[in-house]
A and B are shown apart, each in its own frame.
Chain A
Amino acid sequence: AQKVTQAQTEISVVEKEDVTLDCVYETRDTTYYLFWYKQPPSGELVFLIRRNSFDEQNEISGRYSWNFQKSTSSFNFTITASQVVDSAVYFCALSEYNFNKFYFGSGTKLNVKP
């Protein structure tokens, strides 16, 4: 069965601190996709990144970076020098290839205080 676990329910940091959001997934598929989405207080869902199961290269986009490790079934997300605008709920998600189903974690609420 497919499952995504985000063990951190809520994290609070002070602005400019680095923070890592954890994501652990379970799947029997060899081909799959992993995603991160951001949901700010306004409620919309914003796509951040997609990674396929064959690409374990870490990715950096500005202050955001992602660490994908198949050996530990993890896809962690780090925000460097956090800002108040980063305050949101962040969701990790898993998609089965060819099954058209997405499985979301329960989300991590990030509070960045000034």
Chain B
Amino acid sequence: NAGVTQTPKFQVLKTGQSMTLQCAQDMNHNSMYWYRQDPGMGLRLIYYSASEGTTDKGEVPNGYNVSRLNKREFSLRLESAAPSQTSVYFCASSEDSTSNQPQHFGDGTRLSIL
């Protein structure tokens, strides 16, 4: 029962480097999400994908790109990392974008940009 798997769990980058965060779910969920969590700010939605082949911007999409490679995988890319993107990143999935089933979260990726 893996659920939502994120890789890597930790990463340190230098400013300007690029990085792709990987996320995979094995629950056959249609919807997947990427959030960032900063101290005192809760989780903020970066991008989401309601189904394979579709992606939409969330609250804080600037500086990020996403790919819904297939139903299982949803990756988040930082093309040119900036210190302001230092955060904990969570991937989540849910059964259907309209049913609002509870989201299942991965364990997070702790990303530091120097």
Contacts and interface: CB of A to CB of B under 8 A. Distances in A.
- State whether these chains interact: yes
Interface of A: 4, 6, 9, 33, 35, 43-45, 47, 50, 52, 91, 93, 95, 97-98, 100-107
A107 B38 CA distance: 11
Contacts of B105: 44-45
A110 B105 CA distance: 21
Interface stretch (B18-26, B69-77, B96-104): B96-104
A101 B58 CA distance: 7
A102 B31 CA distance: 12
A55 to B, nearest CB: 13
Contact of B42 (A33, A50, A100, A106): A106
A91 B43 contact: yes
Interface of B: 31, 33, 35, 40-45, 48, 50, 56, 58-59, 88, 90, 92, 97-98, 100, 102-105, 107-108
22 contacts: A6-B42, A9-B40, A33-B100, A44-B105, A44-B108, A45-B43, A45-B90, A45-B105, A47-B102, A47-B103, A50-B100, A52-B100, A91-B43, A95-B100, A100-B31, A100-B98, A101-B59, A102-B33, A102-B43, A104-B44, A105-B42, A107-B40
Contacts of B45: 101-103
B42 A104 contact: yes
Shortest Cβ-Cβ A-B pairs, 3 listed: A104-B42, A45-B105, A100-B97
Nearest to B108: A43
Contacts of A35: 102
